[in-house]
Amino acid sequence: MKKLRKARVERKQCIRCGKSLSHETLVRGVKQCEKCLDYQHRRKLGQIHSKVNTTYFYNRQYKKDDIKRKKLGEYMVKHRITIKDLAHHSHLSQRTIQRILYTESNYSKKTKESINNYLGKELL
Interface positions with Zn ion (CB under 5 A): 14, 16-17, 19, 33, 36
Closest distance between Zn ion and the C-beta of residue 106, in Å? 21
CB of residue 65 to Zn ion, shortest distance in Å:
24
CA angle at 30 for the pair 26 and 35, rounded to the nearest 5°: 100
Give the nearest distance from C-beta 57 to Zn ion in angstroms.
19
CB-nearer residue toward Zn ion: 5 or 71: 5
Taking the complex as a whole, how short is the minimal distance between the CB of residue 60 and Zn ion, in angstroms? 22
Q: In 10 A of CB 9, how many CB atoms? A: 13
**Exposed/middle/buried for residue 86 (C-beta within 10 Å: 0-12, 13-18, 19+):** buried
User: Under 8 Å CB-to-CB from 108, ≥6 apart: which residues?
Assistant: none
How many residues would you count in the chain? 124
**Residue whose CB is less far from Zn ion, 55 or 82:** 55
